[in-house]
Structure 1
């Protein structure tokens, strides 16, 4: 099953919101995970990086995330399909997929925006880094544009791609 991480947010003065996700500085995507066999949801958040791989038991395969359900004892896996897409500024804001996962036996049911995000000044091309979206909003000042910039009303959704 292919799932996507989608976002909708109000971007004011910035565009191209994206996770800071490079081999030198990998982003750890944080999710709640649910077993599709027994529907048990793991009580804790789990993390995965698209640059890490783990062996899948009983196969030659590897995956970015491997998880064994404590309830039904089945092992499941997920892979990030490609680098994250950036979220452009639009008025009104539109929901857009920024990341896709190929999931085997599990579903991601909730996302937490831990980690560093990046954005670019809409008119000025100023590079903003170190953006923290844990509280669902971010405010800064664009020196080149001479105005406040912000990301507000951030909503995450995990959905079928």
Structure 2
């Protein structure tokens, strides 16, 4: 078992508290099997509210998969207390946004996609359903405070927690 911390980095313009819109957000990862070291070329969706049974165990996990190369089963479980938004104070620096307990697999990339939200730094206006697919930039205009808002230069990394 390994605990992986997901770190997020972006340049924020007049927004803060960037993160998933709600607990039902579908996280998208690239997965590497720890048994055969093959990386699945497809993105996999993981929902922190999901509960999937682990074969041969009484336990469950948010994500359970069988490697298509070596046929071993692997699983991942979010530490729900670790999920935090990315704030303007961290703009331009890596900051931890989640911890995931992995058994038999490791996540090697994260694609935020749709379903992120942010809050206007001055006006507190909520910007919902932000599309960050493939880590592309996002821009809008905060009419309440009269300033442009944006998220750019997105990067992610994983480290052992």
Q: State the shift of 1:108 in Å.
A: 0.5
Q: After TM superposition, what 4+ stretches of structure 1 lie above 4 angstroms from structure 2?
A: none
Q: How many equivalent residue pairs?
A: 158
Structure 2: where are the runs of 5+ without partners?
Answer: none
Alignment check: 8 A CA contact 2:15 2:118 kept: yes
Alignment check: 8 A CA contact 1:11 1:90 kept: no
Structure 1: where are the runs of 5+ without partners?
Answer: none
- Secondary structure (helix, strand or coil) at the match of 2:106 reads strand
Q: Which has the higher helix share?
A: 2
Q: 1:48 aligns with which of 46, 49, 61?
A: 46
Flag the 1:116–1:91 CA change in 2: closer, same or farther, 3 A. Answer: closer
Alignment check: 8 A CA contact 2:9 2:91 kept: no
Give the RMSD, CA atoms, in angstroms: 1.3
Q: Does 1:158 align with 2:155?
A: no
TM-score scaled by length of structure 2: 0.93
CA–CA distance in 1 between the matches of 2:69 and 2:90? 45
Instruction: Please name the residue that 1:65 is paired with.
Output: 63
TM-score scaled by length of structure 1: 0.93
- Secondary structure (helix, strand or coil) at the match of 1:115 reads strand
Q: Which has the higher strand share?
A: 2
Counterpart mapping for 1:30-45 below 5 A: 30-45=28-43
